[in-house]
Structure 1
Amino acid sequence: MTPERARRVHVVVAAVAWFAVAFQLLLVVTGDPVLVEDDPPGMVARLYRFFAYFTIQSNLLVAVTSTVLARDPLLGRRGWRVARVAGLVGITVTGLVHFFLLRPLLDLEGASWAADKLLHMVVPVLALAAWAWAGPRPRITARTSAYALAWPVVWVVWTLVVGRVDGWVPYPFLDADEEGWGAVAGACAGITVLFLVLFVVFGWLDRRLPAAPGPRVDGPAEPVRG
């Protein structure tokens, strides 16, 4: 895998991820409900809810980091590594949670169905395939993963706190009024375990798979094994 080929791979992922997010945003702005069956709220609430979804945030991380890699497929700055591994793990969780927990609850058709598949299936598969094929690797250390874990933790805390204020949460398994705090706590614990396992798996694969696409790493030296 040459840097030029890696660049083309990341261009494809970035283009699809940006399109998926923009497509869903267009549907939201024009009044399409997102995981709700009642009339959509006002524009400000609609936009907040759109960006509050973990799905959207993980797709945005993939879009941004893939765009950066399309410019420099060998990039390895320490802060950027955190965003990259957060995006990879986040988009994996997005795909898994959607497939096992949310997909059975949805009854979508037309443009909504297409946007849902792009965000929850196409982008996750493309992002993981691109990382496996084009890297960049090695980039993941224990410290990098620890910093990246801060994002989902903050997201959960923010979501639960705001949900108690305005009564809305982006996913039904986080609705304490409907499910009870015990069920919500169990769901949060299960997803936290999933995150930890995925960080370990990605770190292990990052050390075992061949370096890609090249050896250059920017910024201060950092031991690959953390």
Structure 2
Amino acid sequence: MISRIALLGSAIALGACASVAQATPQEADAPAAAPPATTEDAAPAMPMDMPGHEGMMDHQGMMPEMPGPDEGVFPSMAHGTADMIGLEGQSIGSANLLDGPNGLMIRVELAPGSLTPGWHGIHLHATGDCSDVGMYKMSGGHVGKMEGGHGLLNPKGPENGDLPNIWAAADGSAGYEAFTTLDTLGALVDEDGSAIIIHEGEDDHMTQPIGGAGARVACGVIK
């Protein structure tokens, strides 16, 4: 091995001398190019899937779009959807509902311009009807409506349709995920269905009958 390295070094030195002899003064003064990095010099490649993070990154190093429940992520669990519409009946986003072993997971995604920035009350309503566009009174009252029982903070409550508020960003978009043990998808998709309603203001989780959340500004029939 030592003999090979010595011979290689001699060959490189002889070649360099020959090149210098034929070079112009300008070429002789030019700095020598850095030798190419060997495999030993190269930084070790970072594995695409680190332990505990399998599948989190794609092969371009980008975070893949998270699939919804209806794309086979939880094939053994029942799931539902709702197309959300705004005050003028325009499509503003969607909701996915996933029936887990101990409750219901609800995810809502709304496009920019869907809501005014800030907190908004969001509830499950007892009738799957959004036909009275802009009013959405046809969706009825909350699921499990009780006299004086509205509110997650109410000692007499909550009603089955009560949920934490949804937050809208400065551009009016919203991403929301909440879990409730008060409902199941089977109970919501009954003979007259159910709906997701979003209100113009914040629900204080105490004031009757809807936490002071105001008018209904978005609706989606759960299917």
TM range (shorter): under 0.3
What's the TM-score once normalised by structure 1's chain length?
0.22
Higher relative helix content: 1
What's the TM-score once normalised by structure 2's chain length?
0.22
Larger relative CO (CA 8 A, sep 6+): 1 or 2?
Answer: 1
Higher relative strand content: 2
- Pair member with larger Rg: 2
